[in-house]
Structure 1
Amino acid sequence: MDEVKVVVAHSERVTLRVGDVFLKVDGDPARLDAEAEAMAAAPVPTAPILWRQPSVIAFGALPGRALGRLGEPSPASPAAWAAAGAAVRTLHDAPLPKRPGRRADSLVRAELESECELLVAKGLLPADLVARNRAVAEAAFRPFTPVFAHGDLQLSHVFTDGDRVTGVLDWSEAGHGDPMFDLATLTLGHEERLADLLAGYGPAADLAAIRAWWSLRSLLNVRWLAEHGFDPFAPGCEVDVLRSRMHSPAS
C-alpha cells in the first residue's frame, strides 16, 4: 500500500504524494486554474496533469530527481545545473503569458520596510544584519523587461536526469516577472552553483539584482516561515543567506 506523504502544508495549500501521484489542494481554485494555464503555455517540460477538481489537481511524478533542497548540498552535476539554466532561458524567451506576476514595486518596497522593522522589533534578527541586507535588496528595485517567469523556481521544483531537464513543478505563481527573480530563487542558498546555472542561461544576467533578490526574498520570508512551522535558521537556509551578505559586495 502506498503511503500518503505531506510534501508541503500551510494555510493556503497542501501538496501530498501518494505513490507516483501528487495531489495539490488549494483554498483558492483560481490559483489552480492559473497554474494549469501556465503549464500549458510553458515551453519547457512540466508534470502531466492527471485530473482536476475545483480545489484539487493531480500530477504525475517526474523522472529523475530534483536539483536539490534548500539547506542541503545539491547532488546535481554542473551539466545538470547548466541544463536547468538553458531551460529557464527558454522560458524567459517565450511569449508573455496572460497573467501578471510578481515584481519589485512600491508595494513590495513598503512591505519590505515594514518587515525589516518587525524582524528587529521582535528580536528575530539583529539590526545590523537586517540593515545590510536591506541595502543589498535595493538593487532589485530597478527597471527591467518582464518575461514569462515561473515565479517560485525553487531548486526542489526542477527535476533532471543526467544533464537533461525532465520537468518543472509548481506553476502557481507564474506570470509576467523579473527574470533575475527566477535565477535568484533557483540558487537561493546555493550561491556556489550560480556560475553553472549561468553557463546554460547565457548572457544578460544581472548579478547585483540576483544578490538583491536573495536578500529581499529572505527578509520577506523569515518571519512567515518561523510562524508556519518551518525553520529559516536551519543551516544553509534563509538566515544563513542573509549572513552571507555581511562580508560580500553589495553589487
Structure 2
Amino acid sequence: MSAREAVIDRPHPLLLDALTSAGFDTTAARFTPLRSGTDSLAFAATTRDGDELVVKIRRAGSRSRYPTAAWASARMREAGIPAARGLWYSREACVETRCPGRPIEAEPPQPQDLDAAAGAGEVLRRLHTVEVSSFGQLDGHGIGQHSTIQGWFLALPTRRTPSLVGLDLPGLLNHTHLILEAGADRLPATAPKLLHGDWVGRHLFTDGRHITGVVDLESARGGDPLAELADWSLREPAPMTEALLAGYFDGPLPAESLLPLVLFRLRIAVSLLYFHASCDDPDMVRLRAAQIQADLDDLDHGHLTAVPRVAPDSHSSGRRRP
C-alpha cells in the first residue's frame, strides 16, 4: 500500500471525523490516496504533530470488517508480528498506524525482494502459531463461520458459472468441485490457526532487510496454514513462492503436506476465478482456469508440486484479490 503523490485539497468529512474520534488533531492534516481494496477506500494521513496514520472508509454496499482487523491486529502484535496497530474503528471507518518501509511488489522481483519473501515466510510461521477457535472469516471477537475444516473448505462460491470463448468453464468447475468434495476428507485434522487471509507481497512492508509491517487485516480467518501458502503461490511469481517456502520451513515441504496444499490451491483458485469473472477480467479468469487445469492434471498423474506449474509472471495482475 503506497501513497500517491496528490494531496487531497478537501478531505471527505468521514476522514476528518475518523481522526477526531481516534483522538487526533485534524488541523492542517494532510491526506493522500492509497491503493484501495474491494471493501475500503484507504488514505495516508499526516497530522500537524507528525503522526503517520492510515484511514480507511468503507465503500458503499461493502461489508464492514474493521472489528475483525482490530481483533487480528491485537493477536498478531501479541505474537511479535509487526502488524499495523488499530487505533479506532466504527462501522464506516477505521484509523491505524502506518507501517514503515515499502511493499514487496517489485516487478520483476529483485534479489532483495526474494530475501524479503524469505523473511515473510519466517514471520508467517510465527503468525501460524496463534490458535483460534473456529474456521473461516473471523468476526470482531475472533469467531469463525465453521466448526470443521471440511465445512470451511467446501464453502465454495455460489455465483453463476461464467462463460468465456475457448474455455469449457462449466465442465472444468464441475470436475473441480467433485475433486474437492472427494478430497475434503484427506485434509489434516489440525486445529484452526490465525491466518492473515490476504498474505501477498503488497501487504507486507520491508526495509530491505526485515519485514517492518503487515497491513490489510480485514480478511483474517481461522484455518489450516497450508491454505495461506497455497494462496500466496497462486498470486505471486514462482521465485517468490520458492523464497517464502524456504523461509517458512526448516527444510523441504513435508511430504504429507503436499496433497492438502494442492487441494487448497484448487479451492482458492476456484474462488479467485469467480471473483475475476464478476469483475469482467477475462485475462485473470484464463490464468485461474490454467492454474486449476494444471493442478487437476498433476493430481491425475500423481506428480504434485509445492510451487504451481502455472504461476503469475512478474508483469501479470495475478496479485489482485477479492
Letter in 1 for 2:104: L
Q: Does the 8 Å CA contact 2:131/2:192 hold for their aligned counterparts?
A: no
Give the CA deviation at 1:102: 6.6
Q: Does the 8 Å CA contact 2:193/2:225 hold for their aligned counterparts?
A: yes
How many residues align structurally? Answer: 240
Question: Which residue of structure 1 aligns with residue 128 of structure 2?
Answer: 92
4+ runs deviating over 4 angstroms: 131-141
Letter in 2 for 1:22: V
Give the CA deviation at 1:8: 3.0
Q: Does the 8 Å CA contact 1:15/1:22 hold for their aligned counterparts?
A: no
Listed as ranges, the gaps of 5+ residues in structure 1 are none
SS at match of 2:36: strand
Q: 1:241 to 1:192 in 2, by over 3 A?
A: farther
Question: Which residue of structure 1 aligns with residue 57 of structure 2?
Answer: 25
Letter in 2 for 1:16: A
Task: Spell out the pairing of 1:3-42 with structure 2 (5 A cutoff).
Answer: 3=8, 4-5=32-33, 7-10=35-38, 13-18=39-44, 21-26=53-58, 28-29=63-64, 31-42=65-76
Q: 1:109 to 1:52 in 2, by over 3 A?
A: closer
SS at match of 2:127: helix
Letter in 2 for 1:238: R
Give the CA deviation at 1:235: 9.2
Question: Which residue of structure 2 aligns with residue 196 of structure 1?
Answer: 243
Residue identity (%)? 23
Give the CA deviation at 1:188: 1.9
Question: Which residue of structure 2 aligns with residue 221 of structure 1?
Answer: 272
Give deviations 1:6-43, integer Å, cap 9, x for gaps. Answer: 62354xx21322466433223555x2122112101112
Give the CA deviation at 1:245: 2.8
Give the CA deviation at 1:160: 2.0
The structure 2 residue matched to 1:78, chosen from 110, 114, 119, is 114
Q: Does the 8 Å CA contact 1:189/1:236 hold for their aligned counterparts?
A: no
With structure 2 as the length reference, what TM-score do the two structures score?
0.61
Give the CA deviation at 1:237: 5.1
Q: 1:9 to 1:80 in 2, by over 3 A?
A: closer
The structure 2 residue matched to 1:58, chosen from 68, 92, 95, is 95
Indicate the larger mover: 163-172 or 148-157.
Answer: 148-157
Give the CA deviation at 1:123: 1.8
Structure with bigger RCO (C-alpha 8 Å, 6+ apart):
1
SS at match of 2:222: strand
Letter in 1 for 2:118: A
2: CA distance between counterparts of 1:62 and 1:185? 23
1: CA distance between counterparts of 2:108 and 2:201? 11
1: CA distance between counterparts of 2:296 and 2:129? 34
Pairing 1:105–2:133 present: no
The structure 1 residue matched to 2:195, chosen from 134, 145, 149, is 149
When the two chains are superposed, the root-mean-square deviation of aligned CA atoms in Å is 3.4
Question: Which residue of structure 1 aligns with residue 210 of structure 2?
Answer: 164
1: CA distance between counterparts of 2:248 and 2:202? 18
Q: 1:94 to 1:58 in 2, by over 3 A?
A: same
Q: 1:240 to 1:6 in 2, by over 3 A?
A: farther
Give the CA deviation at 1:232: 5.9
2: CA distance between counterparts of 1:232 and 1:214? 20
Give the CA deviation at 1:89: 0.6
1: CA distance between counterparts of 2:248 and 2:259? 16
SS at match of 2:277: helix
1: CA distance between counterparts of 2:163 and 2:286? 20
Letter in 2 for 1:172: E
More strand by share: 1
1: CA distance between counterparts of 2:125 and 2:117? 12
Q: 1:136 to 1:160 in 2, by over 3 A?
A: farther
SS at match of 2:211: strand
